[in-house]
Structure 1
Amino acid sequence: METKKTKKTKKKASFHAEMKLFHTKNNNSRYKCFKHAIILSISLYFLSSFIITRHKPSTISTTTISRSKPSLALMAENRLDSSALDFKFNGMRIYVYDLPAKFNRDWLRRSGGERCSSHLFAAEVAIHRALMSCEARTLEPRQADFFFVPVYVSCNFSEVNGFPAIGHARSLIAAAIEHVSSQFPFWNRSRGSDHVFIASHDFGSCFHTMEDRAKSEGVPEILRNSIILQTFGVKGEHPCQEVEHVVVPPYISAESVDATLKSSPVNGRRDIFAFFRGKMEVHPKNVSGRFYSKRVRTAILRRYGNDGRFYLRRHRFAGYQSEIARAKFCLCPLGWAPWSPRLVESVALGCVPVIIADGIRLPFPDAVRWADISLTVAEADVDKLGGMLEHVAATNLTAIQRNLWDPRVRKALLFGDTVEEGDATWQVLVALSRKLDRSHKWSRQELLRWKKT
């Protein structure tokens, strides 16, 4: 039999065992709660960080780096938040050179600013402005895939005829390349293959307004490795596109388009069947063996000048966009070069563009389904133009107009002061992001070696 002392000892031992078990369970429970609390806190932290990063507005500084040799420390840093950009443009980054004013801002001031930034060649100004605040822009050149060289060559207006004169273009671009290659290491390492320029005039990267001279001179040797954004583009071989390039639309002011649309009749009545206003020579002049528009515009005037269906005007009219907004078909014949600003104006104002320029290559074909919104007529078939338009008007004009009024189509051809999803500069960035095999990002060690040299 157990004594009272033995029973008391057992009870005491049992009590201590229960208390030990209780504390063990309690400690385990507290540990689990603490662990879950830590996990929950970390999860909430990362979730809130993701939401804030994803939804906060872009605050990329438009400050540019000094024109002197860039700081190695600045180039070596990597402070960019890539979470948003990884889903856009394949994570591509662009560095915009801060060139001396003589390459861009001075030319803009000489032209009065407004004229150079609003005429048909002004894509060189518009793209530069938009890239300055673009989220794809980086202030750290080590992180850049591409380097944008902002040289304005179309702000030099001739005192004789008032049109842009680009005779200085080659020397101006050569001077800009000399500057960036002496101040930065990035041109020399790739021989300019990751550098981007704009040639928004007649024959693009050949930098001449006359095709025979443009062909004979070709693309400047110093640019042959680079990427050119140019309005000129044709199917097949041509000396002025023997360089990596992207075809871009001519510049048309989005503000002017909006103003015209707002002042147009609410019912959208289109009382003009076929419209054209522009240079049409009654007797085409042979200028050193060259006929303007290859005589196509003269043929249109001769054939349809007295045709009541055609609204043809030879003289300038400041409000001619209001006429486009009234027209069903807008003729877009070639000038000196195949492309025309009327292509963009017609699309933006809902008039079916009638493209008369053999072999033309049109901008952003992935974003703009040109076959669904336009008509193409061979230069040799101008005499048949009236019958062709009548046939379309009687069959599928409504379907073409419906495609034409898709707001995404209009947006893809218009440049803005900032980059907006789907606009013309956005399309440029998409095109560049497909050329990332030309990227030559440098490591810190490579930059250190460059600094020592």
Structure 2
Amino acid sequence: MATIHSSKTRPFPSHHTVTPCTRTHQIGALALVIITFFLTRIFDQSLNSSSFSIPTSGQYRSKNDVIRFSDSGGSIFWPQRGYGTHLSLKIYVYDENEIDGLKHLLYGRDRKISPDSCVKGQWGTQVKIHRMLLQSRFRTRKKEEADLFFVPAYPKCVRVMGGLNDKEINQTYVKVLSQMPYFRLSGGRNHIFVFPSGAGAHLFKSWATYLNRSIILTPEGDRTDKRDTSAFNTWKDIIIPGNIDDGMTTHGSRIVESLPLSKRKHLANYLGRAQGKVGRLRLIELSKQYPEKLECPELKFSGPDKLGKKEYFEHLRNAKFCLAPRGESSWTLRFYESFFVECIPVILSDQAELPFQNVIDYSQISIKWPSTHIGTELLDYLESIPDKDIEEMIARGQKIRCLFAYTPESDSCSAFNAIMWELQRKKFLFGWEEMGTFVYSSSCLSWKNLSRQMNPSHHVVPRGVPEKGCSRIKSAVCSKEDARMNRDCEISAGSLNRRSAIISGASLISSVLLFPGEGSAVIKQGLLAGRVPGLSEPDEEGWRTYRRPDDKSGGHGVGWSPMIPYTFSVPDKWEEVPVSIADLGGTEIDLRFANPKEGRVIVIVAPVKRFSDEIGEEATIEQIGPPDKVISAFGPEVIGENVEGKVLRSEVAEHEGRTYYQFELEPPHVMITATAAGNRLYLFNVTGNGLQWKRYYKDLRKIAESFRVV
């Protein structure tokens, strides 16, 4: 949930006399529009020939865009752009004894599931990341200084081993989150969750209500699954590698060692079950036609003839190319395993997203082939690649593969450290969001990408094969069409394109030169939620009544019904202050009102199901709790600290059948009116500094007591 406390770092703009729009201003603006039009036309022509060429197979991305290794190979250098020069994170890890119910998500309802049993298999990342963070230099034990918060849970393991069913997992998550004030403080935006399977966050059925702004670590980037809404969001979530058997990622002897290309029996192999998937069935059929080229053995994963780990990797290493088709979801552990037997992975999953693809040029270490073209043309293409090129791809993969291994933090090249870099990138993005301002920079993403999902690009595409069906990875080269629509594409290429730079520059010039004092409002307009006037004319005493318009945008959130309107009264000369979509807490801050001389009003709304899964669609404040419980739970989110000893006044009022809790706190000076209606909790907050409180106390209290939900 958003906080009033956070607004202290964003002072309200001072009111000033508006500069009149003269004839000179109008002529200047028209001239600027004409110049901008012609300049963009000129630069558009140059873009056709230079800015968006497709790379040849031997072309690398800029060295400034990708990770680099020292000559000795012992050190790794992360790109500074967007990530910073060094890691400086502080992450708070919730203790299992700190939150009631957290142990159930770790060990099951009977607490009999061992973490050692959960660390095995392809979902072991949920345990490994937790354990590494507990020992990490990035861990802090002080919540107030934390950049991010990690919520440990092993839901996939607990579910598979019968520790909790789907309903119990959902109820337990809701219970756990309701006990985390810092989660509500940010709307969950700075909290990290690990969901290590193809189901992703869908293991928590109510993820869309509770985790829609949280950071999700998952190997699954599929946005085309069977569900109506994908749980993965490129803007906020992080793709992580799957969990490879430790016996293949250690620095010493491994379960099996790779074979020289000359000793490998097959051109390619696929080791896995059919699962009724079209791509897998085609590979099995293809192996029957060309058994000397493609190996697809009938593997048994249970019973007396169950395939052991050693036998599995011995099969995997016996081909030049390891095929990784889509299964139940888009990702497959086989992609990562291939690097550790020095086999070139061939991705046959169009919607797959890969880890750290902002900084890894996957076109140099893997092949991506359209899943709709699995046939003899695939084998022909693989057979046409010279061994020299294969050896070079393997050598590059040997350097990169350490980023897929969950080795100790002391290893500079590891999956854990790579995740930390990606989290730091999110931290920088959160910093900009809290400022409520977008800065054009080569190290940040565009606001336009909040809702637009990026699709990944071919790594290697044979001639004659259409691109339809292939996803598009964020890389240094983007199509002209994508670049016009997507500034993320432009920025990942190294800078904004010329057209965008001119338009941005024109906006800045117009704000500074032509319309001083008004330009900033023009620039910010694109970032603000829609606003509809709802303020009445002054009455005899000079007071106005605000009623939230029915068609006012903002404040609807995931799965919310239309908001029940509310009203309150303010003296004349109080004005609405725009709420940025970047405000901490986002749509939960529904409204701001202020008078620079007298004080401020902030209206916060939140879905009641965030606090209890048992409250229905017609909530009351009594269902949420008694006054002392409500102020203890939500007061810290308003003032930014514990409310113990600060509550000067607590009253209960009833108006037209609805109950309102009214509180006055000091210090800081704030009055809070709380109620519930529909499926929302309303917090109406009136605050001011010491001088305002002394001079305008009667008016501020009248404002606080005027709040009604209608």
TM-score normalised by length of structure 2: 0.44
Once the two structures are TM-superposed, the CA of residue 357 in structure 1 deviates from its matched residue by 0.2
Higher strand share: 2
| Counterpart contact for 2:284–2:296, Cα < 8 Å | yes
Residues 252, 166 of structure 1: alpha-carbon distance in 2 compared, 3 angstrom cutoff: farther
Task: Please name the residue that 2:675 is paired with.
Answer: none
Q: CA deviation at 1:253?
A: 2.5
Looking at CA atoms only, which structure, 1 or 2, has the larger radius of gyration?
Answer: 1
Determine which of 126, 129, 137 is the counterpart of 1:127. 129
Q: CA–CA distance in 2 between the matches of 1:225 and 1:147?
A: 13
Check conservation: 2:223, 2:232, Cα contact below 8 A.
no
Is residue 152 of structure 1 aligned with residue 154 of structure 2? Answer: yes
The one-letter code of the counterpart of 2:424 is S
- For 1:240, what is the secondary structure of its paired residue? coil
Q: Which residue of 2 aligns with 1:230?
A: 218
| Structure 2 residue 267 is matched with structure 1 residue 278 | no
Report the residue type matching 2:413 in the other structure.
Answer: G
| Larger displacement relative to structure 2 (258-267 or 344-353) | 258-267
Query: What is the DSSP-based 3-state SS (H/G/I as helix, E as strand, rest coil) of the residue aligned with 1:186?
Result: helix
Distance 1:227 1:252, change over 3 A: same
Please say if residues 224 and 230 of structure 2, whose CA atoms lie closer than 8 Å, have aligned partners that are also in contact: no
Q: Give me the whole-angstrom Cα distance separating, in 2, the residues matched to 1:93 and 1:108.
A: 33
* Residues 257-290 of structure 1: per-residue CA shift (max 9 Å, x gap): 4477464367574333211211025xx3xxxxxx
Residue 388 of structure 1 deviates from its aligned partner by 1.5
Q: Which residue, out of 271, 287, 305, partners 2:288?
A: 305
How is 1:9-408 mapped onto 2 (pairs within 5 angstroms)? 88-89=86-87, 91-100=88-97, 101-106=103-108, 110-156=112-158, 158=160, 168-179=168-179, 181=180, 185-207=181-203, 219-234=207-222, 239-242=230-233, 244-258=236-250, 261=254, 263-264=256-257, 269-280=263-274, 284=276, 293=277, 295-307=278-290, 308-315=292-299, 316=301, 317-318=307-308, 319=310, 320-383=312-375, 384-393=377-386, 396-406=389-399
Over 3 Å counting, the alpha-carbon distance change for 1:419 and 1:146 in structure 2 is farther
1:239 offset after TM fit, Å? 2.3
**Retained in 2: the 8 A contact 1:235–1:360?**
no
List per-residue Cα deviations over 1:28-70 (Å, max 9, x = no partner). Answer: xxxxxxxxxxxxxxxxxxxxxxxxxxxxxxxxxxxxxxxxxxx
Kept in 2, the 8 Å contact 1:154–1:165? The answer is: no
- Provide the secondary structure at the position in 2 that maps to 1:200: coil
Greater percentage in helix: 1
- TM (norm. structure 1) is 0.67
Q: Is the 8 A contact 1:232 1:337 kept in 2?
A: yes
| 8 Å Cα contact 1:94-1:147 kept in structure 2 | yes
Question: 1:414-435 CA deviation, whole Å, 9 max, x = no partner?
Answer: 1135563221111111111012
| Residues 410-449 of structure 1 aligned to structure 2 (within 5 Å) | 410-416=401-407, 418=409, 420-436=411-427, 437-438=429-430, 446-449=640-643
| Most deviating of 241-250 and 354-363 | 241-250
Quick one: structure 1 residues 107 and 353, their matched pair in 2 at CA, closer, same or farther if it must change by over 3 Å?
A: farther
Q: Identity rate of aligned residues, in percent? A: 21
Q: For the residues of structure 2 that align with 1:323 and 1:121, how far apart are their CA atoms?
A: 22
**CA–CA distance in structure 2, aligned partners of residues 176 and 365 of structure 1:** 33
SS at match of 2:296: strand
Distance across 2 between alignment mates of 1:251 and 1:335: 17
Aligned 8 A contact 1:235 1:359 in 2 = yes
Output one character per residue of 1:224-259: Cα deviation in whole Å (capped at 9) or x when no partner: 121111111147996222472111111112334447
C-alpha change, 1:372 and 1:342, in structure 2 (3 Å) is: same
RMSD: 3.3
**Aligned equivalents of 2:89 and 2:345: distance in 1?**
34
How far does the alpha carbon of each residue in 1:93-152 deviate from its partner, in whole angstroms, 9 at most, with x for none?
A: 100000242221458974454331011111111110110111111011111000000011
CA distance change for structure 1 residues 108 and 125 in 2, over 3 Å: closer, same or farther? farther
Structure 2 contact 406–416 (Cα < 8 Å) conserved: yes
Q: 1:204 to 1:235 in 2, by over 3 A?
A: closer
CA distance in 1: counterparts of 2:271 and 2:218, whole angstroms = 25
Amino acid in structure 2 at the alignment position of 1:147: F
Q: 1:266 to 1:358 in 2, by over 3 A?
A: closer
Q: Is the 8 Å Cα contact of residues 105 and 169 (structure 2) preserved in structure 1?
A: no
Distance, in Å, in 2 between the alignment partners of 1:298 and 1:232 is 22
1:363–1:163 distance in 2 versus 1, CA, 3 Å: farther
- Structure 2 CA distance for partners of 1:110 and 1:220, relative to 1, 3 Å: farther
Q: How many residues matched?
A: 339
SS in 1 for 2:640: helix
**Amino acid aligned to 2:143:** P
Q: Which whole-Å CA distance do the structure 2 matches of 1:266 and 1:304 have between them?
A: 22
Q: CA deviation at 1:402?
A: 1.9
CA distance in 2, matches of 1:219, 1:157: 16
SS in 1 for 2:175: helix
* Amino acid in structure 1 at the alignment position of 2:417: W
CA contact (8 A) 1:111 1:157 kept: no
CA contact (8 A) 2:364 2:396 kept: yes
